Structure 1
């Protein structure tokens, strides 16, 4: 594979990807001229523009385009991307969250070609942070080119914002919507506005655009986490059977707010020269409360004869226990993201050359506040049944609404403070060449300096002593009846009515400290000094790329070839705890390495409608900052911890890609693509036991593995049925299917598994209708089961944990009341998809989770 990459020597030429006018058809040049006066709008225009980008790019790319302002489908970027073939999206409280491209989650995000990020332990940009209304489109680069910024072995996602000179004159667009979430039973507002204008003056063309979006969403999630299986020989005589080690039952409710602001200025004093500046801001917060029961059963005495097994297995289906300790919890968990991007530059173009100089500065903050106060008790009887639509765990013999039934449990406060910034400057030059083969030469340099700082606050205390915990009755004012007592439609399979702490009384540090003092806890909340770390990274990259074109017999051939060379310098400071140590050792470590990334793309235009692409390349992704961090973080409540590894090496991948594409109409196409990835230095997480201050902790830490392999196929297409008569000609369809097979080593010697969070099979189908003032879309997204991790207990080592297959149904309908006013109605998660996980086989039940059905209605005005 490496040999093939170097033979092609590739540097995939990015080229300038922009909008092909929506009025143009996508056949040969004469056909384009024949239909140049046709005006295409709405969904058709968006599909046509996206198809044009894919067809005319010099690499393999898929796009989503909002040809009409404010009509990019879905609410945030991650949700919009779930419609693209080869992309699988994880869910976070019912919203699109993380993204993997062709099985790899190591994805680089750029905005108008500039790298963006959200501060945190990783390197990625939180795609939930960006309201979709701010974007004109999203490009997903599945093969690299030398002028694309390195860092995404999965691919590059470029978010494109609107520019004032893209559409001359005055433009105004505004929308207002309400979003109803059924489990939360609440309606929250959404609004957006865009104002743009341009002028022809004696000093040249001048344009300014300002856009903003505000989104709120109420959400609720019901979860029952059946405890991981535990091998026990004291349940049924003469057998070792697998019993769940308890049940964890959080009910979650919260509110998310998303704000995005974008401002762009363009000035073209001459047709050849342009100056520009842009400021972007994203603010995302999630205010979340959760209440529930935690009922561990490890070591508890089973009621004799109460255990039943699933037929043909040694897996317990139902069981009862005597005298089970449990806890109830009230939790406040709030997260905040705040990102700024500042950029500016100059572009100069002549007939034969193009130059661009671009500078940017980004800052980001990510903050977590977590507070918890527990009540503890002992129930005379606990009855558990894991079969059925809702797994059962019921406590009896105790009044859960009587404060006298409880003692005060653990009090926890965790705060994470991530801060990051990045300076970057890059220059690009392109020169057209007149020769039979060579068409242009492209060169560029990029310097970037990125820093990340992390400061943790940790507090975990239980008042009283182990022998004499505090009776809860004197502190009744700190607790209340569980307000989220209708989980899974009020299921009687779990206890719904019990007492919990009030999270609102725990949120601020002042009120938290007041409760701490009231409970007689003298230990102070403070910064965990051993957990502080800082990482600085400087990169210097240069590339050279050639674009070529020639005729191979009667077949036109074009493409690009080039190489990107990067020097990376890394400085890590913090405190490191090595094996055998009980006191962390300060470290200040520097490292440097050079990377050479060749790439090549070639396209064969087999006919006006049919083209074949081939690509070979090498790519890399650097380890996440949290993975590189030397510090150790402990979770005393669970006797677990995690640490980073500053010795990690970057991930590298050899890639081969092929794509056969058939374009039979301006909005109609079919494609078949294949891909292969050979990844070295995959980062795996292993676990070791370590005694710290007399307590045995299970510590997880990342290490580099040997390699992983990913191969797969994508097939898809889109069309409108224009040949049908009358109103039927408004129907259309988009569909794609992806098969991905993967294998990688694990932290367990000799064990290989598929990549985590990767489904082998997935597909998207969208039924579309657009005719006159009416447009509608019904979209279904489905993915097969996938591995979420490995579990080890006293009986098995490396038991795979799977999430079952699931589908997600969305729908929307828009009605143009006038040419300027549109009414919309949308729905998301209409079939209420549920999360089901299991340990190796479905009789070892894991997690059950459900999220809101959402309905949105509103109006959009455009001038």
Structure 2
């Protein structure tokens, strides 16, 4: 094992093994945290240093919340337990995350990806075809904590049938006076072998102003990450007549007689992806407490996320090619190896760049009088999302190609041709795609809370919210293959050798790495010039049929009563009703066709579309907490929730092929997804940092939205089979969560610094799929998942090692020829992270963190494991640096 590997793996081992020599002094006790219901509209707790204080504060938020809530609190200024917001969320029971190039991406709560994201209780979003906020956009260093609401109440914003994730930042009056903190870290990615910076800082101050006081907080964070992802992909299985494959043998001793239909992949796809991601986050908050009753605040936030990725590799197109020899996996009709002669191979290079920019502004205030609290807020936000994708391929014919998927990873070895010689290539196709989204939202809310003195009712809340959101989409599309087959040697200056280095799939001699691709620098920076060099006259242009703009206005009002009883068994909670009116306006274009005298249809123009849709939603909710004994409580919750259709699903664009009576479109008439949900949670709190819980949940979701072909749709007097998003039958999700945490304070020093967190989630689902009559579990949902986190904290030394595991899950379904419907799965996997922190002084902390320490592979297969799909691996990451505060 190399010295680098020993160091990386040692981060995990050291997190527990070094603790035996830790300082023996006791950690300072942490103060109690504020109630979880407080935060964006109330007083936020000041989070103190230390893992114990962090767990204590998070546990207090869970225990005292009005709803079923799980929380994560930064153990110090600018530091969540994980660098990435999504990766921190995966530690919560019931939350599963998808990976994107080795870091946390999208989030599902209890199986549902329709999740609302708020910032200090204000809805936020990233412009795009969806509705939610891209959690990758937000640097984790700016957050004080995260709250995951699994059951709603009437005063919470609607929109997430899965749940709501609230990102919480700090306010200047949270601190006693002047405060400053900063961090400087380096992040090393081992496959690409690069170190990139991560820096953050926070400055807060407060001063007297008349009878009150004012405060100002400024914070910022910049993250950069270089990454590499190796992908070794096998295409869809295709049914083939095996009588043409001779000779045929089995992989074992049993002879193979070719007969009937067997399964042969349609090719392989082997890109290497290398990129650089940057995140910038800025936040400023002004707070004016005029007196103990009256307060005003203003906040401005900005996030920018940029992903610049280079991709290059080989695409081997089996298509209808007939192999000269095959072997099968024993006892199956699935091809394990095959040899081909004169196979078409494409080399490719692609530049893919994504830029998200988000701005949020809020002005609000609150008044506390005797038995009443009033609060109001006005917000504005703007977001843009831009995608640029450019590629150019080369084509060549390879005399011999040997295909083998019977080993640890797929191999497609090529021989008989010099792939470094430009004379052996022809030009392929050129592509340029751009997506440009721009969205904004104005919103205002007014809330009133009244105390009630009675034996049962304790409070009465009423309020309303208005919001107007708009989205604009401008696509640019370009595809040209007019120079396909032209000798690449005529423009040899456009091409260069592919780049490979270090470990990964491509250290294997059996994977070709010595081939030519288009020069990525020219592809990204002078695409128009390349087209001129190739003699291509067309240029990328806006696609009129793809553009759309939408505006959505919502008005919501709620009424909620709070209740509480005292006695041997206590009872408290809330019951409320939220009414939401949604008005949607959709604008776009559709083609106009004319039938010529010969009977053929010709597109003669484009006509605008303007459509409106409106609906009223009635959303009742109830949350009850029963105090059974000291520290033991039972929660029960019931609610109706909704998630509105994605904007891409509502898109009005309509593409028709009259001669084939076929077409595709969006569907502005889609109904929202609605869910009836029931939740129960039994919780026991033995100490401020010790708890155990078990929870059950049930969701019945109506009007799932999936894309299907709808026959007999009349448009312009012609009957079409129209493929479009459609509201389908209902589905169910049910499951169980269990978990807990503790420190082993009963052990003798220094072992009393050890602690553990653990949780397990079981989720079972039954939902419709894109193929009529075929039902599946929810995609991207593992039936089983668990987290185990080992902790140690003593005398300024702290360590943490965290393991997350998911069982296999469905990634999609498709139908291939005469094969029945075929599901695709990702194999189950585990993810190991660790961290070590040491306080040099009360102000200075050294930190060492590791992520993806096992370099966990992604492995996908089609229905059965003898039909493998993509495999990929991503970097291990090592972070090291210093944090300090004043």
Q: Give the TM-score normalised by structure 2.
A: 0.89
2:496 aligned with 1:480, yes or no? yes
Distance 1:582 1:613 in 2: 63
| CA positional deviation for 1:463 | 3.5
| CA positional deviation for 1:581 | 8.3
State the partner residue of 1:819: 842
Deviations 1:198-239 (A, max 9, x none): 112325110000000000000000001101100000336422
Distance 2:443 2:33 in 1: 39
Q: 1:783 to 1:400 in 2, by over 3 A?
A: same
| CA positional deviation for 1:90 | 0.3
Given that 2:239 and 2:264 are in contact with CA atoms closer than 8 Å, whether structure 1 keeps it comes out as yes
Equivalent position SS for 2:624: strand
Given that 1:322 and 1:380 are in contact with CA atoms closer than 8 Å, whether structure 2 keeps it comes out as yes
Given that 2:792 and 2:798 are in contact with CA atoms closer than 8 Å, whether structure 1 keeps it comes out as yes
Q: 1:67 to 1:813 in 2, by over 3 A?
A: closer
| CA positional deviation for 1:131 | 0.7
Q: Which of residues 634, 651, 672 is equivalent to 1:612?
A: 634
Q: Which of residues 272, 283, 289 is equivalent to 1:262?
A: 283
2:252 aligned with 1:235, yes or no? no
Question: When the two structures are aligned, how many residues end up with a matched partner?
Answer: 814
> How do 1:397-412 residues align onto structure 2 when only pairs under 5 Å count?
397-412=416-431
Q: 1:270 to 1:582 in 2, by over 3 A?
A: farther
State the partner residue of 1:779: 802
Distance 2:721 2:729 in 1: 24
Given that 2:456 and 2:563 are in contact with CA atoms closer than 8 Å, whether structure 1 keeps it comes out as yes
State the partner residue of 1:563: 577
Given that 2:48 and 2:76 are in contact with CA atoms closer than 8 Å, whether structure 1 keeps it comes out as no
Q: 1:641 to 1:491 in 2, by over 3 A?
A: farther
Name which of structure 1's ranges 237-246 and 648-657 shifts more when overlaid on structure 2: 237-246
Equivalent position SS for 1:152: coil
State the partner residue of 1:498: 515
Q: Which of residues 253, 275, 278 is equivalent to 2:274?
A: 253
Given that 1:332 and 1:372 are in contact with CA atoms closer than 8 Å, whether structure 2 keeps it comes out as yes
Equivalent position SS for 2:88: helix
| CA positional deviation for 1:705 | 1.1
Distance 2:755 2:863 in 1: 41
Distance 1:103 1:150 in 2: 18
Given that 1:641 and 1:699 are in contact with CA atoms closer than 8 Å, whether structure 2 keeps it comes out as yes
State the partner residue of 1:17: none
Distance 1:605 1:660 in 2: 10
Q: Which of residues 755, 758, 763 is equivalent to 1:740?
A: 763
2:159 aligned with 1:137, yes or no? no
Given that 1:45 and 1:67 are in contact with CA atoms closer than 8 Å, whether structure 2 keeps it comes out as yes
Equivalent position SS for 2:524: coil
| CA positional deviation for 1:524 | 2.0
Q: Which of residues 545, 555, 565 is equivalent to 1:540?
A: 555
Q: Which of residues 671, 692, 705 is equivalent to 1:683?
A: 705
Distance 2:275 2:767 in 1: 37
2:531 aligned with 1:523, yes or no? no
Given that 1:463 and 1:520 are in contact with CA atoms closer than 8 Å, whether structure 2 keeps it comes out as no
Equivalent position SS for 1:531: coil
State the partner residue of 1:3: none
| CA positional deviation for 1:641 | 11
Distance 1:211 1:675 in 2: 39
Distance 1:834 1:189 in 2: 26
Given that 1:371 and 1:503 are in contact with CA atoms closer than 8 Å, whether structure 2 keeps it comes out as no
Given that 1:674 and 1:712 are in contact with CA atoms closer than 8 Å, whether structure 2 keeps it comes out as yes
2:371 aligned with 1:352, yes or no? yes
State the partner residue of 1:31: none
Distance 1:209 1:168 in 2: 13
Equivalent position SS for 1:308: strand
State the partner residue of 1:828: 851
| CA positional deviation for 1:321 | 1.4
State the partner residue of 1:128: 136
| CA positional deviation for 1:684 | 1.4
Q: Which of residues 424, 440, 461 is equivalent to 1:421?
A: 440
State the partner residue of 1:673: 695
Given that 1:212 and 1:259 are in contact with CA atoms closer than 8 Å, whether structure 2 keeps it comes out as yes
Distance 2:196 2:80 in 1: 20
| CA positional deviation for 1:383 | 1.0
| CA positional deviation for 1:76 | 2.2
| CA positional deviation for 1:585 | 4.5
Deviations 1:375-394 (A, max 9, x none): 11111221101121221112
Deviations 1:480-523 (A, max 9, x none): 00013665151123211100011221223xx1111101101111
| CA positional deviation for 1:564 | 0.3
Name which of structure 1's ranges 197-206 and 269-278 shifts more when overlaid on structure 2: 197-206
Distance 2:483 2:107 in 1: 46
Given that 1:485 and 1:496 are in contact with CA atoms closer than 8 Å, whether structure 2 keeps it comes out as no
State the partner residue of 2:381: 362
Distance 1:726 1:485 in 2: 48
Root mean square deviation of aligned Cα? 2.2
2:303 aligned with 1:282, yes or no? yes
Given that 1:76 and 1:129 are in contact with CA atoms closer than 8 Å, whether structure 2 keeps it comes out as no
State the partner residue of 1:644: 666
Given that 2:287 and 2:295 are in contact with CA atoms closer than 8 Å, whether structure 1 keeps it comes out as yes
State the partner residue of 1:442: 461
State the partner residue of 2:252: none
Q: 1:779 to 1:518 in 2, by over 3 A?
A: same
Distance 2:286 2:602 in 1: 56
Q: 1:845 to 1:633 in 2, by over 3 A?
A: farther
Deviations 1:414-436 (A, max 9, x none): 11100000000000000000011
State the partner residue of 1:4: none
Distance 1:120 1:772 in 2: 48
Q: Give the TM-score normalised by structure 1.
A: 0.92
Given that 1:463 and 1:519 are in contact with CA atoms closer than 8 Å, whether structure 2 keeps it comes out as no
2:479 aligned with 1:471, yes or no? no
State the partner residue of 1:12: none
Equivalent position SS for 1:307: strand
Q: 1:187 to 1:688 in 2, by over 3 A?
A: farther
Which structure 1 residue ranges, 5 or more long, are not aligned? 1-20, 28-37, 635-639, 691-696
Given that 2:234 and 2:265 are in contact with CA atoms closer than 8 Å, whether structure 1 keeps it comes out as yes
